[in-house]
Amino acid sequence: MIVVMKPYASQEHVDAVVKLIESRGLTPHLSAGKEVTIIGVIGDKSRLEGQNLEVFPDVDKIVQVTESYKLTNRKFHPEPSVIHAGSAVIGPDTLTIMAGPCAIESREQLLTIARAVKAAGATMLRGGAYKPRTSPYSFQGLEEEGLKYMKEAGEETGLATICEVISAESINAAVKYVDMIQIGTRNMQNFNLLREAGQSGLPVMLKRGMAATIDEWLNAAEYIVAEGNPNVVLCERGIRTFETATRNTLDISAVPVLKARTHLPVIIDPSHASGVRAYVSPLAKAAVACGADGLMIEVHNNPACALSDGPQSLTFDQFETLTKELKSYAALSKRAF
């Protein structure tokens, strides 16, 4: 941590900061420039908790030099993690394709889609049983009934399964039926839910909050890992910007940034990022070329009648065409698919 003093700060005010640092058993290092004095703080900065150096007289700003996430930080865990979820393996040597409907609408719908995405090469089945919807008057999901269909579809096809959870209750249900749980973008900083997901024993896919910085996202992942659950996968699904041509703006740079900062695998969701079916395939290819460990893609048997997010869902034919193309891209990045 570095304390930057204001230009021409008084000696008395510099001394007050130095004294506080020393009083906590830390070592201050002064660098007195012509205009500005800076004070480096050496030692365990958690000893300064509850001390707001920003409000000391003549303090200009505080610069943090180390990240607050530790367990998810690649600096302290250089090898990339490999996460197992049912039959699926998510990590540097594989390309994981999660596919399925946005919302589970019925047993028949889910089984039909599961068979189709399996045939096209998907490795995991996605499908929402608990839907967080912007308006209270929209379809909210089949809940536990939907999870039962997921279990059946997974067993029949051999696909691993993943479902979004939105509460302790839904986590308790999910544990009985699916291989992996997902925390959605609106809950990325629902810290209670993160802790409960950490305690669930299931691998967790954590979607990025739509206005979360990458560092806030890694801190959210840290909540899960800190509960003793190292099986976390990150999913970039677009951030909110001023551009309205797409529903969100896919932050594709998050892939190399995350590869530098964390050992956790990274999945890209081009369906939610763009909100437009025609853009899903180009973005999926970009994601693989860029180093993503997998994709989450919405596929529906009848997008014109989907109860949720139909406009961004691929048809079976479109999904099959995409997976064929992806094989070449997976080969270029030396990933099994």
* Interface positions, 97-156, toward a copy of itself (CB under 8 A): 132-139
DSSP characters over 1-57? -EEEEPTT--HHHHHHHHHHHHHTT-EEEEEE-SS-EEEEEES-GGGGTT--GGGST
Q: Which is nearer to a copy of itself, 88 or 268 (CB)?
A: 268
- Contact between 321 and a copy of itself per CB under 8 A: no
Least Cα distance to 262 among 283, 285, 293, 288 occurs for: 293
Among residues 257, 301, 321, 330, the one that binds a copy of itself under rule CB under 8 A: 257
- Provide the 8-state DSSP code for 293: S
With contact defined as beta carbons under 8 Å apart, do 258 and 266 qualify? yes
- Going from the C-alpha of 143 to that of each of 163, 164, 166, 167, the distances in angstroms are 10, 10, 11, 11
In angstroms, rounded to a whole number, what is the distance separating the alpha carbons of residues 332 and 193? Answer: 38
In angstroms, rounded to a whole number, what is the distance separating the alpha carbons of residues 157 and 179? Answer: 14
- Contact between 40 and a copy of itself per CB under 8 A: yes
Residues facing 39 on adjacent strands? 3, 30
In angstroms, rounded to a whole number, what is the distance separating the alpha carbons of residues 113 and 306? Answer: 12
- Contact between 207 and a copy of itself per CB under 8 A: no
- Contact between 187 and a copy of itself per CB under 8 A: yes
Nearest approach, Cβ of residue 198 and a copy of itself (Å): 9
Phi, psi of 316 (to 5 degrees): -60, -45
Nearest approach, Cβ of residue 240 and a copy of itself (Å): 4
- Contact between 337 and a copy of itself per CB under 8 A: no
Please report, as residue ranges, which positions from 1 to 20 form the binding site for a copy of itself (by CB under 8 A).
2, 4, 6-7
Q: Reduced to 3 states, what is the DSSP secondary structure of residue 295?
A: strand
Q: Which is nearer to a copy of itself, 25 or 245 (CB)?
A: 245
Nearest approach, Cβ of residue 87 and a copy of itself (Å): 27
Please report, as residue ranges, which positions from 222 to 251 form the binding site for a copy of itself (by CB under 8 A).
222-223, 226, 239-246, 249-251
Please report, as residue ranges, which positions from 53 to 72 form the binding site for a copy of itself (by CB under 8 A).
53-56, 60, 63, 65-66, 68-69
Nearest approach, Cβ of residue 119 and a copy of itself (Å): 22
Q: Which is nearer to a copy of itself, 120 or 273 (CB)?
A: 273
Give the total residue count for the chain. Answer: 337
Among residues 12, 25, 52, 334, the one that binds a copy of itself under rule CB under 8 A: 52
- Contact between 266 and a copy of itself per CB under 8 A: no
Least Cα distance to 235 among 90, 129, 30, 44 occurs for: 90
Q: Which is nearer to a copy of itself, 159 or 225 (CB)?
A: 225
- Contact between 206 and a copy of itself per CB under 8 A: no
With contact defined as beta carbons under 8 Å apart, do 271 and 280 qualify? yes
- Contact between 80 and a copy of itself per CB under 8 A: no
Q: Which is nearer to a copy of itself, 107 or 329 (CB)?
A: 329
- Contact between 92 and a copy of itself per CB under 8 A: no
Q: Which is nearer to a copy of itself, 260 or 336 (CB)?
A: 260
In angstroms, rounded to a whole number, what is the distance separating the alpha carbons of residues 225 and 248? Answer: 28
Q: Which two tokens stand for residue 204?
A: 């967790």
Nearest approach, Cβ of residue 159 and a copy of itself (Å): 25
Q: Which x/- pattern over 269-308 shows residues binding a copy of itself (rule: CB under 8 A)? A: ----xx--xxx--xx-xxxxxxx-----------xxxxx-
- Going from the C-alpha of 234 to that of each of 7, 115, 182, 262, the distances in angstroms are 42, 26, 10, 10
Q: Which is nearer to a copy of itself, 34 or 79 (CB)?
A: 34
